[in-house]
Amino acid sequence: MWLINSSIGRKVVMSLTGIALILFLTFHCAMNVVALFSGEGYNMICEMLGANWYAIVATLGLAALAVCHIVFAFILTAQNRQARGDNRYEVATTVNGDNVVEKWASGNMLVLGLIILCGLLLHLKDFWYNMMFAEIVGMPTKLSPTDGFGWIQETFSNPVFVALYLVWFCAIWFHLAHGFWSAMQTLGVSGKIWQKRWNCIGLIYVSLLMLGFTVVVLGFAFGCAPSLN
């Protein structure tokens, strides 16, 4: 199957799974922002998702997308290293020749990916393990598995976790700053006119997206979030 066996096919898979993950991050960000305005509203969303069958199916599908994206990223990175040596993850610098962020991100996608993977494992431990997993297996936890608001408060009352999450967000931003534009290029929707446009659109979109996550973390870290009645 060309999607798996060819280099172009693997890049298409990387692009499609990446776009799907960006859409999930958009949903996740919108959900998290609710916690800044209403703890009860946020917990209603957590309870609606929880360990319901549709949430479990969606989680398994999301996990499959993430694993596929990560595996193909390592394969493509290994191929690029072997083929290009030090000129790894080469991109069309003639389009973004003066974009330092784009150049740096494109040349350090593996490092960024590893940081993102470590942050993801931390996030799963802090929230998914104590919420959905705990509810599925009936594991006793410090707070209710559906008390997402309480878990956010608990996690970001610790400045160490605040710092770790902010570093994670920065890595995701750099990764997406390149990944969004690269996906459009791979899928063939970035002609000569749209190359710079997609780069600009991508930077604005991922900046707003990660700003949303950052505001939530800092809001809870500095006690700006509402309290449950």
pLDDT tens digits along 89-106: 444 444 444 456 666 666
- Mean pLDDT throughout 217-223? 94
**162-186: per-residue pLDDT in tens?**
999 999 999 999 989 888 888 888 8
Closest to 39 (Cα-Cα) out of 218, 222, 216: 216
Task: Tell me the pLDDT tens digit for each residue of 26-63.
Answer: 999 999 999 999 999 999 999 988 888 899 999 999 99
186-206 per-position pLDDT tens digit: 887 766 777 778 888 889 999
- Please, how many CA atoms are within 13 Å of residue 181, restricted to the half-sphere of its CB? 27
CA distances from 40 to 34, 69, 123, 147, 188 (A): 9, 35, 22, 9, 44
pTM reported for the whole predicted model: 0.84
pLDDT at residue number 85 = 57
The residue-averaged pLDDT of 157-161 equals 96
